[in-house]
Amino acid sequence: MKYIFYSLLCACTLFVFQSCTEKTVTISIENTSSIDRKKEMVEVDFDLIIKRLSLKDNNVILTNTDNIQVPYQLLSDGKTMIFPVNVAANSTATYQIKAGTPSDFRPLTFGRFIPERLDDFAWENDRMAYRMYGPALAPQNPSNGVDMWLKRTEDLIIDKWYKEDLARVASYHVDHGQGLDCYRVAHTLGAGGIAPFVDDVLWINGPYSRYEIHENGPLRTEFTLYYDALNVGFPDGRCVSTPHRTLKATLTISLDAGNQLNKASIIYEGDDVNGMSVAPGLFLHRFDNINERNVPVAERNILKANNMMAIAIDAVSDANVHSGRAYKGIIVPASVEIKAHEDDCFVGEHLLAVGTFNAGQPFVYYFGGGWNKWGFETDDDWFAYMRNAQIRIEQPLRSVIR
């Protein structure tokens, strides 16, 4: 009788142990590159995880090897989980997932339509903030360029800065301790916009027509801006002899927590778009022309390397106060020509990454910026970041679910 009881006890213990082990999933993240990857976002198959855990809901806890919870986000497709990882060069890190209610983590990305400020669309993460111009601003001849806001806080500031600026409590063109907007866009590509580059003319256009938000934190914000009427070529032939034509464009932008760079993907529709030259670009400030004061800036520091370009310039506030060094850059994972460009059709000298758009295939590039008051002490630090970012894009982390 004792023997039978002991056998049953062992069998039950084994059953419980096996049940417990079956309810834990291990994710291995492999870094085959020569650089450490810190707070880098990875995507894993959440459907597979749910099946492995035999769960009927999405409540799971993600931990690292120190049993510390790691924040994650389930994307709107319901099939993908993203989370930040730390993996040393040429090594592997492991993470565990089990059923349970995760801790609350504060959002680190955010974006929204700003109807109270002439239809801006603004977005941010814990590193930087950006905006692009909307339909209500069209009479003022803005562009489809990117404005960047320099931050020195992990806090989300878009709502606060707009509210205080519109109420005339505190201008976001002045640094009140969290950062400022001291970047001038006007009718240029700003800090990473994109335009057709046809007949040696950069066809900068106006504001977006419509928008759609796909993801909105806590770790990734993704949205699409629709441009319903992009003009390429003047009908009177003032700058080029090609016929006037109107294209459509769909621009999707994604920004992850901890990343200085956005991922951008654009599709053009219309006549003769296949093989059309396109160019994401950076506006080369000769002067800081805020309020037309023509404040001279320090000599630009520029890095060009294959399909990557980076720029360092002086940051000058709206109050004519020097605010350190501002950084911006672009990486294109395709074959492009990096070139400086200025033409008679649109005001402003740009550094461009001229590539080819293939119909039906999105043209993908990465753009963003930084500040020497928030993570980059020198121009060389920014250039090193951009070089490493290029490695991260070319050599993505690999994930295995066990």
Instruction: Quote the CA–CA distance of 157 and 206 in Å, as a whole number.
Output: 26
Report the pLDDT value the prediction gives residue 6, as an integer from 0 to 100. 41
Report the pLDDT value the prediction gives residue 242, as an integer from 0 to 100. 63
Choose among 133, 159, 156, 134: nearest CA to 146: 133
Report the pLDDT value the prediction gives residue 127, as an integer from 0 to 100. 98
Given the DSSP bridges, would you call strands 80-87 and 37-45 parallel, antiparallel or unpaired?
A: antiparallel
Identify any residues that bridge with 221 across adjacent strands, giving them in sequence order.
216, 255
Identify any residues that bridge with 330 across adjacent strands, giving them in sequence order.
309, 367
> Which residues, 6 or more positions from 58, have their beta carbon under 8 angstroms from its beta carbon?
46, 50, 74
The pLDDT of 205-233, averaged and rounded, is 95
Report the pLDDT value the prediction gives residue 241, as an integer from 0 to 100. 58
Instruction: Quote the CA–CA distance of 364 and 357 in Å, as a whole number.
Output: 10
What is the pLDDT of the chain when averaged over all its residues?
Answer: 89
Q: Residue 354 pLDDT > 60, yes or no?
A: yes
Flag the least confident range among 146-160, 176-190, 241-255, 355-369.
241-255
Instruction: Quote the CA–CA distance of 244 and 96 in Å, as a whole number.
Output: 57
Report the pLDDT value the prediction gives residue 243, as an integer from 0 to 100. 60
Instruction: Quote the CA–CA distance of 33 and 341 in Å, as a whole number.
Output: 34
**What would the pLDDT profile of 264-293 be if each residue is shown by its tens digit?**
999 999 999 999 999 999 998 764 444 444
Report the pLDDT value the prediction gives residue 5, as an integer from 0 to 100. 41
Q: Residue 328 pLDDT > 70, yes or no?
A: yes
Report the pLDDT value the prediction gives residue 401, as an integer from 0 to 100. 95
CB 46 within 8 A of CB 81: yes
Instruction: Quote the CA–CA distance of 228 and 352 in Å, as a whole number.
Output: 24
CB 391 within 8 A of CB 34: yes
Report the pLDDT value the prediction gives residue 10, as an integer from 0 to 100. 43
**Winning range, highest mean pLDDT, from 122-126, 197-201, 298-302:** 122-126
**What would the pLDDT profile of 24-46 be if each residue is shown by its tens digit?**
999 999 999 999 999 999 999 99
Phi, psi for residue 20 in degrees, rounded to 5: -65, -45
The structure's pTM equals: 0.91
The pLDDT of 87-96, averaged and rounded, is 98
Chain-centre distance for alpha carbon 144: 16
% pLDDT > 90, the chain: 77
DSSP state of 190: B
Q: Residue 190 pLDDT > 70, yes or no?
A: yes
Identify the band that residue 171 occupies on the pLDDT scale cut at 50, 70 and 90.
Answer: very high
The pLDDT of 202-221, averaged and rounded, is 96
Which amino acid type is present at position 120? D
Which residue blocks in 167-268 are alpha helix, DSSP H?
A: none
Where b means 16+ CB within 10 Å and e means fewer, 134-154 reads: beebeeeebbbbbbbbbbbee
Instruction: Quote the CA–CA distance of 110 and 385 in Å, as a whole number.
Output: 23
For the four alpha carbons of 371, 375, 381 and 387, in that order, the dihedral sign comes to: negative
Which residue blocks in 143-264 are alpha helix, DSSP H?
A: 158-166
Task: Give all domains of the chain, ordered by start, each with its CATH number.
Answer: 2-104 (2.60.40.1180), 110-394 (2.70.98)
Report the pLDDT value the prediction gives residue 23, as an integer from 0 to 100. 86
Please give the helix or strand (H or E) that residue 311 lies within, else none.
strand 308-316
